[in-house]
């Protein structure tokens, strides 16, 4: 009779962990360390109230169509991080950063904690990433993944025949994401890595010989899987301003503000997947947090609009603001930081309350769930949605399943996963 294998002792397991370099995971903290975007509502869109901004130790992808404010937001995140004493590495692969414009946003290029590079090819900027992660920098930005061209493509003489370079960009992206995750974990998960990405139009061939266009991101599917957060940006409206052209002496309209919707397509850090926020971007000045807070506070009636007048009262009835005109209100909030902070605090308290209410289960639903679990629910229509023991027996015997509820002999189409399928128009 064979002897039973004796279980390993706890000491043996500890010795094996030490030999293999394994570290037992402990329960994490409720609040995750993050790099703020400088805008409280955009922070909420990324990570809710558990992670206010870009989570450290994770890869984040920010994508959208052209001229929707991706590079502007990345620059403002870097500026806010530097103001708080952090260290930022900005890889401008597109070579399009306008220093004069970024200075108007508040960037200090002479800051010793700011490292700006313009790599020529993919591998050039990727090789130094490990050193910066080992140094514990706060933020690394890649602008953008679409412009991170492999060296082999740039040095090739034949720009037409691409068979030898097919899939090279996607392969390098997947390999680089693996290294970023390894380095970030090895050095204590201190760095948030932000990738900006562009959109491309692809063609799906159908069975009938036709085709349909769809929009997707560049660099293959690797970044979609390795990114803990994927945020989509889309322009949903613009505010125009009239002016008189001195040359043609005619009235023209120029864009003044732009409304951008942020949609959290994927979130493995907090329960923010599917949430969306709208931020106001002012041309030449970047994302305006005071205007963003003002618009949302007016929507929730914290700031009351009467005609062209805007007023705000505290919970005790004290009136802190009464200004005429939206631009005058914006200027007033910028000059009176205490009033702005009071409105922002009231707004974020309301947002937190609403977010908790959405995740709560109503009493009626709770009773129905408990009744269903106890088998006392008399709703026959809902019972048809559940497979009975008799149906399970048919399935085990491999009998005809056509008469089972919810089974029609065809493979059911799964709900579209925005993380795995091409991005549709609404998500962009």
Q: What is the pLDDT of residue 286?
A: 92
Q: What is the DSSP string of 164-185?
A: GGTTHHHHHHHHHHHHHHHHHH
Among 195-199, 242-246, 383-387, whose mean pLDDT is lowest? 383-387
Which has the higher per-residue pLDDT, 91 or 383? 91
Residue 32 carries which DSSP code? P
> Whole-angstrom Cα distance, residue 400 to residue 409?
9
Which has the higher per-residue pLDDT, 167 or 136? 136
Q: Summarize pLDDT for 317-374 with one digit per residue, the tens.
A: 888 899 998 888 888 988 888 999 899 888 888 887 876 665 454 555 545 545 544 4
* Residue 96, number of CB atoms within 10 A of its CB: 11
Cβ pair 264, 45 in contact under 8 A: yes
Given a cut of 90, is residue 37 above it in pLDDT? yes
Q: What is the pLDDT of residue 122?
A: 94
Residue 192 carries which DSSP code? E
Quote the pTM value. Answer: 0.75
| Tokens describing residue 79 | 């500026």
Q: What is the pLDDT of residue 381?
A: 38
Boundaries of every domain in the chain: 30-153+168-285, 288-357
Which has the higher per-residue pLDDT, 410 or 207? 207
| Tokens describing residue 105 | 């946003």
For the residues 44-67, what does the mean pLDDT come to?
90
Helix residue spans in 271-375 (DSSP H):
289-299, 326-335, 337-359, 363-374
| Percent of the chain residues past pLDDT 90, beyond the cut | 39
Confidence of residue 29 (pLDDT cuts 50, 70, 90): low
Given a cut of 60, is residue 130 above it in pLDDT? yes
Which has the higher per-residue pLDDT, 49 or 308? 308
The radius of gyration of the chain from alpha carbons, rounded to an integer in Å, stands at 27
Q: What is the pLDDT of residue 161?
A: 60
Residue 352 carries which DSSP code? H
Q: What is the pLDDT of residue 415?
A: 38
| In 245-343, beta strands by DSSP E | 251-267, 276-282, 286-287, 303-306, 309-313, 319-324
Cβ pair 322, 309 in contact under 8 A: yes
| In 64-163, beta strands by DSSP E | 88-92, 114-117, 139-143
| Tokens describing residue 352 | 């937190």
**Angle ∠(352,355,358) on CA atoms, nearest 5:** 150
Q: What is the pLDDT of residue 107?
A: 94
> Whole-angstrom Cα distance, residue 58 to residue 183?
11
CATH number for the domain whose boundaries are 288-357: 3.30.250.10
* 30-153+168-285: in CATH 3.40.50.10470: no
Tell me whether the omega of the peptide bond preceding residue 239 falls within 30 degrees of 0, making it cis: no
CA pseudo-torsion sign 322, 324, 326, 332: negative
> Whole-angstrom Cα distance, residue 291 to residue 279?
8
Q: What is the pLDDT of residue 417?
A: 37
Q: What is the pLDDT of residue 89?
A: 96
Question: What CA–CA distances, in Å, run from 257 to 260, 277, 280, 281, 338?
Answer: 10, 16, 7, 6, 25
Q: What is the pLDDT of residue 334?
A: 86
Beta bridge partners of 239: 257
Q: What is the pLDDT of residue 424?
A: 41
Q: What is the pLDDT of residue 275?
A: 77
Collapsing DSSP states into helix, strand and coil, what is residue 101?
helix
Please provide the average confidence, as pLDDT, over all residues in the chain.
79
Which has the higher per-residue pLDDT, 340 or 247? 340
Q: Summarize pLDDT for 178-230 with one digit per residue, the tens.
A: 999 999 999 989 999 999 999 988 777 665 556 667 888 999 999 999 999 99
Q: How far is CA 154 from the centre of its chain?
A: 31
> Whole-angstrom Cα distance, residue 180 to residue 283?
34
């Amino acid at each position: 009779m064979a002897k039973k294998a004796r279980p390993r002792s706890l000491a043996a397991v500890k010795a094996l962990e030490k030999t293999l370099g394994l570290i037992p995971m402990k329960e994490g903290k409720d609040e995750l360390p993050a790099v703020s975007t400088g805008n409280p509502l955009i922070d909420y869109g990324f990570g809710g109230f558990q992670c206010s901004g870009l989570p450290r130790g994770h890869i984040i992808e920010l994508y959208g169509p052209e001229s929707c404010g991706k590079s502007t937001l990345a620059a403002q995140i870097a500026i806010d991080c530097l103001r708080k004493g952090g260290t930022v590495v900005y890889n401008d692969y597109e070579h399009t950063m306008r220093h004069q414009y970024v200075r108007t946003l508040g960037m200090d290029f002479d800051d010793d904690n700011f490292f700006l590079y313009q790599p020529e090819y993919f591998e050039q900027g990727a090789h130094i990433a490990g050193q910066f992660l080992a140094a514990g920098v706060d933020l690394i930005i890649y602008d953008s993944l679409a412009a991170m061209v492999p060296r082999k493509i740039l040095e090739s003489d034949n720009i037409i025949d691409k068979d030898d370079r097919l899939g090279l960009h996607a392969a390098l992206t997947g390999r680089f994401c693996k290294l970023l995750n390894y380095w970030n974990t090895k050095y204590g998960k201190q760095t948030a890595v932000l990738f900006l990405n562009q959109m491309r139009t692809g063609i799906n061939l159908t069975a009938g010989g036709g085709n349909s266009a769809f929009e997707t991101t560049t660099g293959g599917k690797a970044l979609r899987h390795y990114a803990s957060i994927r945020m989509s940006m889309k322009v949903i409206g613009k505010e125009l301003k009239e002016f008189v052209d001195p040359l043609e002496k005619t009235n023209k309209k120029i864009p003044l503000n732009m409304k951008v919707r942020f949609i959290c397509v994927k979130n493995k850090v907090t329960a923010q997947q599917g949430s969306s926020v709208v931020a106001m971007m002012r041309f030449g000045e970047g994302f305006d947090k005071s205007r963003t807070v003002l618009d949302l506070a007016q929507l929730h009636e914290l700031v009351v609009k009467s005609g062209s007048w805007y007023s705000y009262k505290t919970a005790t009835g004290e009136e802190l603001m009464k200004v005429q005109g939206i631009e005058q209100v914006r200027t007033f909030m910028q000059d009176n930081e205490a009033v702005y902070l009071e409105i922002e605090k009231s707004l974020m308290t309301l947002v937190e309350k609403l977010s908790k209410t959405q995740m709560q289960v109503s009493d009626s639903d709770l009773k129905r769930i408990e009744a269903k679990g106890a088998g006392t629910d008399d709703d026959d229509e809902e019972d048809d949605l559940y497979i009975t023991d008799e149906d399970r027996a048919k399935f085990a015997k491999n009998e005809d399943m056509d008469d089972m509820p919810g089974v029609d002999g065809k493979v059911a189409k799964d709900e579209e996963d925005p993380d795995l399928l091409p991005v549709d128009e609404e998500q962009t």
